[in-house]
Chain A
Amino acid sequence: AQTVTQSQPEMSVQEAETVTLSCTYDTSESDYYLFWYKQPPSRQMILVIRQEAYKQQNATENRFSVNFQKAAKSFSLKISDSQLGDAAMYFCAYTFDSATNKLIFGTGTLLAVQP
């Protein structure tokens, strides 16, 4: 069964510092997509970054980057130069089937940013 595990329920980072959120997944598929979503207190789910499993290069979006280790089934998110607005719940998510949009989510990591 496909599962997504986020082992850090809560994390804290100082403003302007760097933080890494962990995510591991379990799948027997060779082709799949991984995502990080951010859910601030407003509850709006916002796409942060995506990674295609067939791409070896790690995805980057401004201050957000991932460390994708396919063999280890690991997909961590690095936030550089943390800002107060980065405070939110972060969810790692996975999908593999082109015939469906079903996303499998982790349990989330609540990130606090200290001024």
Chain B
Amino acid sequence: KAGVTQTPRYLIKTRGQQVTLSCSPISGHRSVSWYQQTPGQGLQFLFEYFSETQRNKGNFPGRFSGRQFSNSRSEMNVSTLELGDSALYLCASRLTGGGYEQYFGPGTRLTVT
């Protein structure tokens, strides 16, 4: 079974631009979560989607948004990029009714210049 995939793997953007990252969960997993990883703040929860509905949101500004499609694929969008948004963005999927473990994708490395 294929793992979680994320595209693109690397991205360079300029301040003020917007960006969209994509995540395809493991087949059969309907829950997708997003995390931001930075050297200073560590791993922080962004938001989570289940059956196309946002179930929980972390403490991030409204510039960070996401959505989930009927095939469970998810996208996250960051508008008006700031230098501090440079990070590794990780997506994870989970099998509903399973043991709570989440499986992570390889991440998207976003650099804002």
Q: Do these two chains really belong together in a complex?
A: yes
Interface residues of A (CB under 8 A from B): 33, 35, 37, 42-47, 50, 52, 91, 95, 98-108
- Give Cα distance in the complex from A107 to B55, angstroms: 25
* B101 near A100: Cβ-Cβ < 8 Å: no
> Per a CB cutoff under 8 Å, which of A45, A52, A102, A107 touches B48?
A102
Interface residues on B, range: 20 to 34
Known: A100-B48, A101-B92, A101-B94. A91 touches B107 (CB 8 A): no
* A103 near B99: Cβ-Cβ < 8 Å: no
Known: A52-B99, A101-B102, A105-B42. A43 touches B35 (CB 8 A): no
A42 partner residues in chain B, CB cutoff 8 A? 106
* A102 near B106: Cβ-Cβ < 8 Å: no
